[in-house]
Amino acid sequence: MGIAEDLLQAHGNVVAIFGGNDPTALGALAAANAAGIKDCKIYGVDGSPDIKAEMASGTSLIEGSGAQSPVKIAQSAVNIMYSYLNGEEVADRYPVETFLITSENVKDYGTDGWQ
């Protein structure tokens, strides 16, 4: 038995778990399922295909995943690099758009890849 499962069996009244990333949230889900937890909301961060597929099932304790688009980040980085190489001035920082993926909007992002 893992630490999370031990903790959840000892404290079955947990109402929410926040994983620092999607694999951690999926581990918390496995522990909650093993502990028989039925009323807990689990959140992750990344918007990974695995967690989106879990949310799309419609029966999971996974409530959401804070996400960003690796595809858009890469496109932006390449454009900034070309600007820099062309002698153009570039900013010191480029904020990354973040958003929440839930079971209600997961279909907008798909479950078979990164957004």
Residue 43 above 60 pLDDT?
yes
> What is the value of pTM for the model shown?
0.82
Amino acid at 75: Q
Domain annotation for the chain: domains and CATH numbers: 3-103 (3.40.50.2300)
Q: List C-alpha distances in Å: 52 to 16, 39, 65, 82, 112.
A: 18, 20, 8, 33, 8
Each residue of 76-93: pLDDT tens digit? 999 999 999 999 999 999
Please give the pLDDT value at position 54.
96
User: What percent of the chain shows pLDDT beyond 70?
Assistant: 99
